[in-house]
Structure 1
Amino acid sequence: MPQNKLQDVVFTAMMATLMVYCMVVYNVALNTGDVTAMTFVAALHELPIMVPIAFVLELFVVGRIARKLAFSVMRPDDRPQLITYAISICITCIMCPVMSLIATLLFKEPSFGMWIKAWAMNFPMALGLQLFYCGPLVRLVFRSMLKVKRWAFSLTVAKAA
C-alpha cells in the first residue's frame, strides 16, 4: 500500500506500534490472569523497548522476506486484497516467533520451552489481530492520511495558481 520509502516508514511505524501494544496487553493479561485498566497501563512500559525492535525488523528484514514469500504463491495480477492477506500472513509467520523469542529473552526466564510456549500462545492472537483488527485499522487510517495530504496539496496548488 505505501508508494514510497517515507510512506513505508510511516505505515510500518503505525502497524508496529499498534501490533506491539495489542500483543503486550495480551501477554500481560495472560501473565496476570485478568484484564483491568492496569493491564493497559502496564503494557505501556514495554513499548519503548519492543516497538523499535519490531519497527526495525519489519522495515528492514521481515517485510522484504514476507513479500518474497507471498509472491511465491501469489501473482501480481491477483486481487489486491488477497495479496494483502498473503503478505500479512507471511509477516505474522515470521514476526511472531522472532518477537516471542526477543520477549522471552528480555522479560522471562529464557529457555527453549518458554519460547515455544510464548510463540504458541501468541500466534493465534497475532494472526487474528493482523488480519481482522490492526491491519485493517492501520490501512484505513493510512489511506485517510493520504487522502487528507492529497486534498491539502491540491488546495495549496490551487491557491498558488
Structure 2
Amino acid sequence: MPTNKRESFVYSLIMCFVMVFWMSMYNVGMNAGAFNGEIIKTAWVGLPLGYLCAFLLDWFVVSGPAKKFAFKLLPEAPSTLRMVLTISTCMVLPMVIFMSLYGSIEVLSHTHQWNQLFIMWGTNILKNVIMALPFQLIIAGPLARKIFRTIFPVGTIVA
C-alpha cells in the first residue's frame, strides 16, 4: 500500500489503468456480445478519455471519502489484508457508480437515445459491480501493488 501522497498518486495511475482497460474491454464485449481482437482495439481507443475521467474521479472525488468511510469500518489495528480489502471495496463501489454513468453517456452520445440514460446507467451499475469488485480484489489490486512495489521499492518515493 502507498505510504504517502506521491506514492498514492503513482499507485492510482497504475490502478486506474488496469481497472479502466479491463472494465472497458468487459463493457464493450458485453455490448457486442463477443470478445475478440476488435473489442480490445475498441477498448484501447476509448481508454485515454475513460482513464482521465476515472483518475480525476478517483483522485479528487472518491478517494478521500471512501478512505474515511473505510477507516470508520476498520478496528483500531486492522491487519494489512483487512485494510486493503476494506479500502478497495469502499473505492470500487462509488467508482462503479460514476464510471457506469460515464459509460452510459459515452454510448448514448452515439445512439442519441437519451431517454434510456437512467435505465442504462442502473443496468450498467449492476453488470459492472459484479465484475469490478472481484476483479479489483483478486487480480487488479494484487497486480497493481506488485507493479508499484517492483518499480518503486518501499522508501524510494520520498514524501
TM-score, structure 1 normalization: 0.87
Q: Residue 148 and residue 6 in structure 1: after superposition, are their counterparts in 2 closer, same or farther (change >3 A)? A: closer
The equivalent residue for 1:103 is: 103
Deviation by residue 1:97-153 (Cα, 9 ceiling, x = unmatched): 111011111223442111101111111100011101111100111111222985xxx
CA–CA distance in structure 2, aligned partners of residues 17 and 73 of structure 1:
27
Residues 1:80 and 2:80 aligned together: yes
Residues 1:133 and 2:139 aligned together: yes
Q: Residue 64 and residue 30 in structure 1: after superposition, are their counterparts in 2 closer, same or farther (change >3 A)? A: same
Q: Flag structure 2 segments of 5+ consecutive residues without an equivalent.
A: none
Superposed displacement of residue 7, structure 1? 1.4
The equivalent residue for 2:64 is: 64
Q: Residue 22 and residue 121 in structure 1: after superposition, are their counterparts in 2 closer, same or farther (change >3 A)? A: same
CA–CA distance in structure 1, aligned partners of residues 122 and 154 of structure 2:
43
Q: Flag structure 1 segments of 5+ consecutive residues without an equivalent.
A: 151-161
The equivalent residue for 1:153 is: none
CA–CA distance in structure 2, aligned partners of residues 102 and 34 of structure 1:
22
Superposed displacement of residue 15, structure 1? 0.4
Deviation by residue 1:73-114 (Cα, 9 ceiling, x = unmatched): 103411011011000001111100111011111223442111
CA–CA distance in structure 2, aligned partners of residues 141 and 100 of structure 1:
26
CA RMSD of aligned residues (A): 1.5
TM-score, structure 2 normalization: 0.89
Bigger relative CO (Cα 8 Å, ≥ 6 apart): 2
Which protein shows a greater Rg?
1
CA–CA distance in structure 1, aligned partners of residues 154 and 138 of structure 2:
25
Residues 1:114 and 2:124 aligned together: no
Taking only the aligned residue pairs, the percentage that are identical comes to 33
The equivalent residue for 2:43 is: 43
CA–CA distance in structure 2, aligned partners of residues 131 and 56 of structure 1:
21
CA–CA distance in structure 2, aligned partners of residues 104 and 145 of structure 1:
35
Name the count of aligned residue pairs.
Answer: 150
One-letter amino acid of the structure 1 residue matched with residue 146 of structure 2: L
Superposed displacement of residue 65, structure 1? 1.1
CA–CA distance in structure 2, aligned partners of residues 136 and 129 of structure 1:
10
Instruction: For residue 46 of structure 1, give the secondary structure of its aligned residue in structure 2.
Output: helix
Return structure 1 stretches of 4+ with deviation > 3 angstroms.
none
